[in-house]
C-alpha cells in the first residue's frame, strides 16, 4: 500500500488515513485517504509544513535513546516516601541501586530518578531535601555506566544532577515551575522532556478545564516549543509528554491515549507515562497500583501502534516482553 501511495509511513507505523482538525469556536474534523489528502494539499498549501513534520528526524535523540531497538524504555526509580505506587521502596540507596540494575537487565534504556512525589495532591518539598535524595543515587548509577534521566522541576536539582551524571531532564511542570530551568538546560545542552500539567500536583485536578483536551495540549506544546527555541534550546533536545493523569480525568485520559498520533505534527518525539495509572483502576476496578500491569501493557501497545516510541514504566521486564512480541506479530 505504501508503494502504491495508499498508505503513509509515520515513525515506522503505516497509516491509511489523515484526519484534519480545525479549531475555532468548535472543533471540526475531516478524514482523508492518503491519496485524497495529497490532492487536497495542492489547493491548501497551509498544511504543507504540518505534513512535513510528521516524519521528523532527530539524529541526536536517535543515537541517545534508540541504541538497542526502535523503542526506548525508561524505568521509574522514585527516591520518595510518598509516590503513588512505589513510595518508600527505594529510600535505601542499596535497594535503589539493586532495583535500577534489575531494570537495566530487564531491558530499560534509561533509569528515571525522581526525588519528589508528583501524585495528585502531593505537597511540594524543598530543593535541599530533593537533592539529598537523588544525588547519591545518580552518582552510584553513573559509576555503573547506567543511563540516567532526572525527574525534577527545580533548576538547582537539575544542575546538581547533570554534573553528577544525568544525561536528560524530565520536567513535569513543562519548564513552568522554575524560571531558571531554561538557563540550566541551555548551559549544559541536555535533552529536556516537557510534560503538560495544569497548575501543580496539589491543584492540577481542579484545573482540568479544556475546550478539547487533545487540541488544547497540542496548542500548549506548539507554543512552548516556539517559546523555548527563542530562548536558545535546540528542537533536537526536546521531547514532549502529554501528562496522562496529570490534570486529566478518566475521559480526558482516554481521549488523549486514543489520539496520541496527533502529536507527531509537532515534529518532536513523544514520551508516554501510563504505568499503573488510575484510569486503569476505573476500567478494571483494581485498586492496587502494582496489580495494574495488564492495563499498562494495553495502553502501551495502543500508543506503540500510533508510533509512540518512548515509554516510562515501572514494570520494565513485562513491558519490554510485550513490545517485542507485539512488534514481531505485527511487523
The distance from CA 320 to its chain's CA centroid, rounded to whole angstroms, is 17
Residue 314 CA to residue 298 CA, distance in Å, equals 14
For 168, list phi and psi in degrees, rounded to 5: -155, 145
Residue 207: active-site member: no
Choosing from 133, 153, 277, 292, the catalytic residue is 277
In angstroms, what CA-CA distances link 109 with 72, 74, 112, 268?
6, 6, 10, 19
Beta strands in the chain (DSSP E): 8-10, 13-15, 17-23, 27-33, 72-78, 110-114, 148-151, 168-171, 192-195, 238-241, 271-272, 310-313
* Inter-CA distances, 34 with 46, 80, 327, 331, Å: 17, 48, 24, 21
Q: Report the 3 state secondary structure along 129-179.
A: HHHHHHHHHHHHHHHCCCCEEEECCCHHHHHHHHHHCCCEEEECCCCCCCC
Q: Active-site residue among 133, 153, 292, 312?
A: 312
Tell me, yes or no, if 277 is annotated catalytic.
Answer: yes
φ, ψ of residue 183 in degrees (nearest 5): -65, -40
Choose among 222, 214, 129, 120: nearest CA to 174: 222
Grid cell at residue 306: 500510533
Q: Which residues pair with 313 in a beta bridge?
A: 75
Residues carrying an active site annotation: 277, 312
Amino acid at each position: 500500500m505504501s508503494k502504491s501511495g495508499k498508505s503513509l509511513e509515520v515513525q515506522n507505523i503505516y497509516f491509511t488515513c489523515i484526519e484534519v482538525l480545525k479549531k475555532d469556536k468548535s472543533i471540526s474534523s475531516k478524514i482523508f485517504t492518503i491519496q485524497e489528502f495529497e490532492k487536497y494539499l495542492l489547493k491548501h498549501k497551509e498544511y504543507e509544513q504540518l505534513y512535513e513534520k510528521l516524519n521528523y528526524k532527530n539524529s541526536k535523540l536517535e543515537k541517545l535513546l534508540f541504541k538497542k531497538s526502535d523503542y526506548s524504555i525508561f524505568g521509574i526509580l522514585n527516591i520518595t516516601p510518598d509516590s503513588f505506587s512505589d513510595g518508600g521502596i527505594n529510600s535505601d540507596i542499596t535497594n535503589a541501586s539493586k532495583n535500577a540494575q534489575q531494570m537495566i537487565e530487564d531491558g530499560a534504556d534509561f533509569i528515571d530518578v525522581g526525588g519528589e512525589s508528583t501524585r495528585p495532591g502531593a505537597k511540594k518539598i524543598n530543593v535541599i531535601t530533593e537533592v539529598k535524595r537523588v544525588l547519591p543515587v545518580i552518582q552510584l548509577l553513573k559509576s555503573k555506566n547506567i543511563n540516567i534521566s532526572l525527574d525534577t522541576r527545580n533548576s538547582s536539582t537539575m544542575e546538581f544532577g547533570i554534573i553528577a551524571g544525568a544525561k536528560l531532564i524530565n520536567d513535569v511542570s513543562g519548564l513552568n515551575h522554575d524560571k531558571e530551568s531554561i538557563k540550566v538546560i541551555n548551559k549544559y545542552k541536555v535533552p529536556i522532556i516537557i510534560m503538560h500539567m495544569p497548575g501543580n500536583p496539589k491543584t492540577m485536578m481542579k484545573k482540568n478545564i479544556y475546550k478539547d483536551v487533545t487540541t488544547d495540549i497540542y496548542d500548549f506544546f506548539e507554543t512552548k516549543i516556539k517559546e523555548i527555541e527563542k530562548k536558545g534550546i535546540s528542537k533536537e533536545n526536546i521531547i514532549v509528554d502529554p501528562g496522562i493523569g496529570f490534570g486529566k480525568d478518566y475521559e480526558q485520559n482516554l481521549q488523549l491515549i486514543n489520539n496520541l498520533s496527533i502529536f507527531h505534527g509537532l515534529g518532536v518525539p513523544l514520551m508516554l507515562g501510563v504505568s499503573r495509572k488510575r484510569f486503569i483502576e476505573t476500567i478494571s476496578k483494581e485498586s492496587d497500583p502494582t496489580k495494574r500491569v495488564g492495563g499498562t501493557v494495553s495502553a502501551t501497545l495502543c500508543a506503540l501502534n500510533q508510533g509512540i516510541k518512548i515509554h516510562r514504566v515501572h514494570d520494565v521486564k513485562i513491558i519490554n516482553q510485550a513490545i517485542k512480541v507485539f512488534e514481531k506479530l505485527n511487523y
